[in-house]
Structure 1
Amino acid sequence: MTDAPASATPPPAIEAVMREQALAVGYAPASAREGFAALLDLDHQLASILQSTTEPMIGQMRLTWWYEALEKLDREPAPAHPVLQRLADSVLPGGVRGADLAPMIEGWEALLDDGEALDDERIARHAEARGGVLFASVGRLLGQSGTAPLGEGWAKADLAQHVSDEATRTRIGAAALLDLDAILASKSPKPVRGLSGLAILARESLRHPDRLPGHPMRAARLAWHGLTGR
């Protein structure tokens, strides 16, 4: 079983998010930008599985394929998939193994619709395995530790934007704001401002839901953070 190619044109809303993320990547040191972008590509690829799958069993099969494909990167050449090839070229040489990335799959599995409520345990599992692993992996490329909690807050904030139930969305968003406000209270060191910039954008989505990705005020806020770390 193979997955859809990452080269497919994304919807306009996703394109706007990707453009913002590209701006944030630009604040990372040049040596880490390609790997940073490749890891975001992986995150988009995994997100697309849930967005395009209506049957949980099919979604589980596709996620399992990705888990195995990521683990195999440590011992086999990357298959002919652009995301996996990009990871092999720009992430693995930075000391991040495919096995380090495979737990991201568990974060997305936590959201597979099984008819049960999205409780705090599943939300935490998603945030830790998706955002925590993603940000820790970028942090390793940057030579920086302690970036996982920032990723967990980012993942919760992003999840809050995609939950249809209002009460659940409000609960997740409130928890994400608490996390992000606490972590972003201190000035971000220059090497991690690409990562913290993503968190700034996620917090902006919660504070100003009327400002969609691509809004000039969001770009201005990201630029200020990139310059000052605040």
Structure 2
Amino acid sequence: MVTYQTGPERALALSYAPEAARASLAALFALDDTLGQILRTTREPMVGQMRLTWWHSALSALDSAPPPAQPVLQALADNVVRNGVSGARLAAMIDGWEALLEAEAIDTTALQLHAAARGRGLFVAAQALVGGAPRDPVEAAGEGWALADLARNVRDPESARRIATAASGAIAAATAVRWSRAGRALGALAQLARMDLAVPLDTPIAHGAPRRVARLALHRVTGR
């Protein structure tokens, strides 16, 4: 139903974070990638649920025990939990993925839960690590980013259009203000989502195109 992939544009956006927070952000988004990969490679919902349950337990355990020999969990323990974002808070993001796994169709309820638990949860945790200002619209950015990403990775065209429409309002709010310097990595991700939404869903995105990279560079300088 859903596939996920990452690329150099996101790496560029995350490089705008304060240097001390970059490893933390990389670990957070590696977790998001890992959870998305579960959906991409799961054919049976029950198997996917078992895998997500394992991750929920493993993330929650980071608050009270050393991580197992798993690279993502070790990176989270060293760079995220150690810096004040609890494993329980990370585990709560799994609810957003379970909403897609459990739903027979991606309805409004599933979309709202995915946007809140995955997107908002991820970006709010990231803000706790990078700093930033209270005015930075991290919640809208996270929700819109998650939905814009989902719209590009759902195979059913009608569902993709509906999800993209749901993403557009949040992304408009997230890109309408000037982001603080510390928060600009997250603002850049919102700008990427805005550019993605401007491309018809049946048209490939020109990732790394000069105009897209230039737009990110402008955001890094101006916060807009």
**TM-score normalised by the chain length of structure 2:** 0.91
**1:113 deviation in Å?**
5.5
Gaps of 5+ in 1: 1-10
Secondary structure class of the residue paired with 1:100: helix
- Counterpart in 2 of 1:57? 46
Inter-partner Cα distance in structure 2 for 1:32 and 1:76: 23
- Counterpart in 2 of 1:138? 126
- Counterpart in 1 of 2:215? 221
- Counterpart in 2 of 1:186? 177
Inter-partner Cα distance in structure 1 for 2:141 and 2:174: 7
**1:162 deviation in Å?**
1.0
Inter-partner Cα distance in structure 1 for 2:217 and 2:59: 34
- Counterpart in 2 of 1:171? 162
Secondary structure class of the residue paired with 1:80: coil
2:87 to 98, 103, 119: 98
On the 8 A contact 1:190/1:229 being kept in 2, the answer is yes
Inter-partner Cα distance in structure 2 for 1:104 and 1:212: 29
Letter of the 1:80 counterpart: A
2:205 paired with 1:211: yes
Over residues 163-187 of structure 1, what are the superposed CA-to-partner deviations in whole Å (9 max), with x where a residue is unaligned?
1222221111112112111221111
Indicate the percent of aligned positions where both proteins have the same amino acid: 50
The structure 1 segments of at least 4 consecutive aligned residues displaced by more than 6 Å after TM superposition are none
2:16 paired with 1:27: yes
1:121 to 106, 109, 120: 109
On the 8 A contact 1:205/1:212 being kept in 2, the answer is no
**TM-score normalised by the chain length of structure 1:** 0.89
Gaps of 5+ in 2: none
User: For structure 1, which segment, 81-90 or 204-213, has the greater mean C-alpha deviation from structure 2 after superposition?
Assistant: 204-213
Aligned length, in residue pairs: 216
Letter of the 2:45 counterpart: P
Over residues 2-22 of structure 1, what are the superposed CA-to-partner deviations in whole Å (9 max), with x where a residue is unaligned?
xxxxxxxxx9x83xx332111
- Counterpart in 2 of 1:4? none
On the 8 A contact 1:211/1:218 being kept in 2, the answer is no
On the 8 A contact 1:150/1:196 being kept in 2, the answer is yes
Secondary structure class of the residue paired with 1:190: coil
**1:214 deviation in Å?**
2.7
Inter-partner Cα distance in structure 2 for 1:183 and 1:92: 27
